Amino acid sequence: MGETTAAPLDPDCIFCRIVAGEIPSDRVYEDDEVIAFRDLAPKAPVHVLVVPREHSRDVRALAERPALLAHVTRVASQVAAEESDGDFRLLFNTGPTAGQTVFHVHAHVLAGRTLAEGEL
């Protein structure tokens, strides 16, 4: 396998600090690989972030770990089933011009209402 950009924790990363429990979050799921918590600025009635515990910059880096990427999507599906009707939009912002503001890969799980095409 190629070079990985994953690291256990980055002390300057807000999501690493959330994972470590240094910053509180409204967690809806956690296991050994990921945590899921409610977004502080929700764009839908259900807006949960699924965050790998290990630091990776974005989904391109996470793609180097396909089992973990698959786990993130499974957790997203589980969260949508528990928090809404099971339908959901899964979004990864990748890079600053795509709207990524925290450079620790995270999936946005959006659900709880009809989401229009082109929205978000």
Contacts of 47 (CB under 8 A, 6+ apart): 38, 39, 108, 109, 110
Question: Which member of 47, 55, 104, 106 is catalytic?
Answer: 106
**Alpha helix stretches (DSSP H) within 4-85:** 14-19, 59-62, 66-83
Residue 108 annotated among the catalytic residues of the structure: no
114 vs 91: CA distance, rounded Å: 15
Structure tokens at 41: 């600025």
Contacts of 65 (CB under 8 A, 6+ apart): 4, 6, 56
Q: Which residues are catalytic, by number?
A: 106
